[in-house]
Amino acid sequence: MDFEWHQVMRRLWNARNDESCELLNVDLPARCADKTHLQRHHITTSYFTRTDQLDPVAYADVWRKFYPDAAIGGSYPIGMAGFKQSLGTVLNLQQIYDVNAQLLPRYPSELSAVSADAQWQAPGVFAPRCGDHEGLLSTRTYVNQTVPVAGVPTNYVTGFNTWLATGNFAAYAPVGSIPMGVPSCP
């Protein structure tokens, strides 16, 4: 992450970190480019996230960095990297959504900040398992992809609007429930 931050994000994209995060991570500013770290420790406003469990950009990084043997016919079965990436994504999103029960008690200053803000609401999450990197630029990912919510196929736009209206929405496609190429992933 440190190499990627300095060589790609900073030099190539002229990326900037969250200033409050950089002040707390002077020795490791690349940590502030980690979306999971930011979601868990630095975002204090309400937000809705759409994260594909098989995002090909993140998936390629996981495959290359953590399962190098699999790419050359090594010891990992086909699909193991994808399965572990999906499982990790689901667990992270669930913890972020369940912020009061699981996350904030570990960080009392965040709990007190959230508790003092009457406008705060838990993050909304939409997490299909369709292998797409983006979710806003095409009808296919914004409207047509669905995840099961109480047995009802629900799309991103409905999930987001529900979250805006009610302040409560968490939708996951459990690992393995939406295999690549089925109608839920048009």
pLDDT of residue 158: 93
User: Could you read off the pLDDT of 131-173 as tens digits, one per residue?
Assistant: 788 888 888 889 988 888 888 889 999 999 999 998 888 888 7
Contacts of residue 40, defined as CB under 8 A and 6 or more positions apart, other chains included, come to 95, 96, 103
Q: Which helix (H) or strand (E) holds 112?
A: helix 108-116
Q: pTM for this structure?
A: 0.73
Q: Tell me if residue 50 falls in helix, strand or coil.
A: strand
Going by C-alpha positions, the residue among 129, 104, 168 that lies closest to residue 50 is 129
